[in-house]
Structure 1
Amino acid sequence: MAQGSNFVDYVKICCRSGHGGAGSAHLHRDKHTAKGGPDGGDGGRGGHIILRGNSQLWTLLHLKYRKHIIAEPGGPGSSALQHGKNGKDEILEVPLGTIARNAETGEVLFDITEDGETKVLTPGGRGGLGNWHFKTPTQQTPRFAQPGEPGIEEWIVLELKVLADVGLVGFPNAGKSTLLSVVSAAKPEIADYPFTTLVPNLGIVSYRDNKSFVMADIPGIIEGASEGKGLGYRFLRHIERNSVLLFMVPADTHRSIAEEFNILLHELTAYNPELLDKPRLLAITKSDMLDEELQLEMEQDLPEQIPYIFISSVAQKGLQELKDLIWKAINS
């Protein structure tokens, strides 16, 4: 997956749906009929602005520079009860995991989670009724019709939360990108400095019997991320959509494993307490440097009641067992 500025997970757009077409007030006339009744057709509906899920997209980049989305107005009704043409809908393709919210109130309107799923974001105005609707026994020839309903103009925020089965949670340099590159076909940038991963990387991990699951490398958390320090909130929101959280702590951490795990957990809890409801796993990374004695010693100090595993992506240690652990957690 490409890195850097191509990943856009937040856009604000102005949506203007189409006005409805006016109904017709036409009265029927032909060479045989000098004074016919009303035959004005209804106006067409104004164009909607619609979101459609597309599993091939992973960014909102294509909408970043489209500040104004304008749908067509509906056509007017005409004689012989002819209905006006409906305005053309504007369909915006978005990645799965996109949330639409009203920019002014912050209210979440809906989210798109399935490929091909369509939802109306800003509805077009209804077409006006033609004069034949208003014919009554006492008013045989109404000479009026309804105007079309105006469209809606509103500012909408689209926000992307990456959809994945397992989210990798850890400080920078915990080995998340390396793990992803080894167990999947993803090619994340890997280097030994904080915040190498500036965008979530997704990888499909093959499992036994042709099964697979999606793993997301979420950019490293630093203490205080939940208060907006560092790259903070922008990345924490991607964790909300993962069904299992895999905490990754390197064996060579200068703190204890339990201490580092608790700091990570605190950051997530401060951001959104609901994240505590997700299944948690712990991987102690870079453990190829540990001998058996040292590993047993470290096991005494691990957080309680969390399934754990010692792994090394480079030495391919414990990776199949890790996949088994993840698969069990996803499907439990």
Structure 2
Amino acid sequence: MQFIDRAEIEVESGSGGDGMVCFRREKYVPAGGPSGGKGGGGGSVIFKSVENLQTLLDFRYRHRFKAEDGDRGGTNNCTGASGDDLIVEVPCGTIIYDAQTSELIGDLTEPNQTLLVAKGGKGGLGNKHFLSNSNRAPEYALPGLPGEIRLLNLELKLLAEVGIIGLPNAGKSTLISALSSARPKIADYPFTTLVPNLGVVRKPTGDGTVFADIPGLIAGAHQGAGLGYDFLRHIERTRVLLHLVDGTASDPIADYQIIQAELNAYGRGLASRPQIVAINKADAIDEETISAIAQQLKLLSQSPIFLISAVSRQGLNELLQTIWTTIDRQKEVREAQEVYLGL
């Protein structure tokens, strides 16, 4: 499946039905009596976020979405049938912008969340509505209002509690495959991963936590180098960053600093996000070397350093325990803030 995280589409709500001009044919009713009904309302276009979609791929092949028009008003003062709303399903984490003004229309982050993006046109009034003492036989009705047409830009930012970052070939894909049932492409050369990979990791309580393997971060990623610019934004929604450092690299400290510099340069609060540092491939390095690397990283990051091996699963239990604790702490802080703000 292709990973598509941007799309431009056109949506159009349904037009309202025209009002009806007609008269009853009853005895003692002047001029038959007006009985034209109101036109039905046009259908609206509504976006709905769902959990079973992970990409905007569907919008690559379909660019226009139109809701149904309302029916014309009927005789005997009958209102025309309203057009059905068009429900457009999008992945959780989809942001909708107006393509012409760049205005943010909405951000769908929760499952089954809905957003009205184009309201259907109102139906026109029939001639029955214009009956008055001075006009006992109106011979006119109103047309239905046209539907709303909008050009929209869709942008997907993956929803994951833990984002795994690091230079290419640090072992991110191997780690997410070891922790979850995700099976990304793995090879011994850089840039194996060209799209973000999601995996659900189970807590001891049985709850699932979504991990995201973010690809393509290299020096200059925030300026478009490599694949990083397109995927840095997917880190914005993560609660915790797991920074994976390749312990067998020629200069692991410089590798760590490159990623930190990119987070700082990109901004949007990524550099201040809770971060856990793990040195991967620890089973392939002698104890003296890896100890020296760990000490230097601890001074730079001001946080505990974990020695792990995604292949042999060394140190993964301790790493996960710290991740769960950090996520729970973040949740407690967020809930306390909501209570304080009265949300």
Moved more, 145-154 or 265-274: 265-274
Displacement of 1:32 in angstroms is 5.8
The answer to whether the 8 Å contact 1:125/1:150 transfers is: yes
Quote the Cα distance in structure 2 between the aligned partners of 1:268 and 1:177: 20
The answer to whether the 8 Å contact 2:216/2:226 transfers is: no
Displacement of 1:36 in angstroms is 4.7
The answer to whether the 8 Å contact 1:280/1:307 transfers is: no
TM-score, structure 1 normalization: 0.91
Quote the Cα distance in structure 1 between the aligned partners of 2:56 and 2:177: 24
Match of 1:129 among 125, 129, 151: 125
Percent of residue pairs identical: 46
Quote the Cα distance in structure 2 between the aligned partners of 1:43 and 1:268: 56
State the partner residue of 1:186: 182
State the partner residue of 1:287: 282
Query: Over residues 299-321 of structure 1, what are the superposed CA-to-partner deviations in whole Å (9 max), with x where a residue is unaligned?
Result: 32112323431111112111011
Closer/same/farther in 2, CA of residues 135 and 256 from structure 1, 3 Å limit: same
Any unmatched runs of 5+ in structure 2? 330-343
Q: CA RMSD in A?
A: 2.0
Quote the Cα distance in structure 2 between the aligned partners of 1:154 and 1:111: 17
Closer/same/farther in 2, CA of residues 127 and 253 from structure 1, 3 Å limit: same
State the secondary structure of the residue aligned to 1:221: coil
Quote the Cα distance in structure 1 between the aligned partners of 2:110 and 2:221: 30
Match of 1:80 among 50, 62, 76: 76
Match of 2:271 among 272, 276, 284: 276
Quote the Cα distance in structure 2 between the aligned partners of 1:141 and 1:262: 82
Match of 1:301 among 271, 281, 296: 296
Moved more, 174-183 or 58-67: 58-67
Moved more, 222-231 or 300-309: 300-309
Moved more, 54-63 or 271-280: 271-280
- Regions of 4+ moved over 6 Å: none
The answer to whether the 8 Å contact 2:294/2:305 transfers is: no
Any unmatched runs of 5+ in structure 1? none
Matching of residue 209 in structure 1 with residue 205 in structure 2: yes
State the partner residue of 2:327: 330
Quote the Cα distance in structure 2 between the aligned partners of 1:269 and 1:38: 71
Displacement of 1:168 in angstroms is 0.8
State the partner residue of 2:335: none
Task: Give matches, 1:124-203, under 5 Å.
Answer: 124-203=120-199
The answer to whether the 8 Å contact 2:163/2:212 transfers is: yes
Task: Give matches, 1:248-267, under 5 Å.
Answer: 248-257=244-253, 259-267=254-262
State the partner residue of 1:246: 242
Displacement of 1:75 in angstroms is 0.8
TM-score, structure 2 normalization: 0.89
Query: Over residues 113-171 of structure 1, what are the superposed CA-to-partner deviations in whole Å (9 max), with x where a residue is unaligned?
Result: 22222222222212122333334444444333222111122221112111111011111
Match of 2:221 among 210, 213, 225: 225
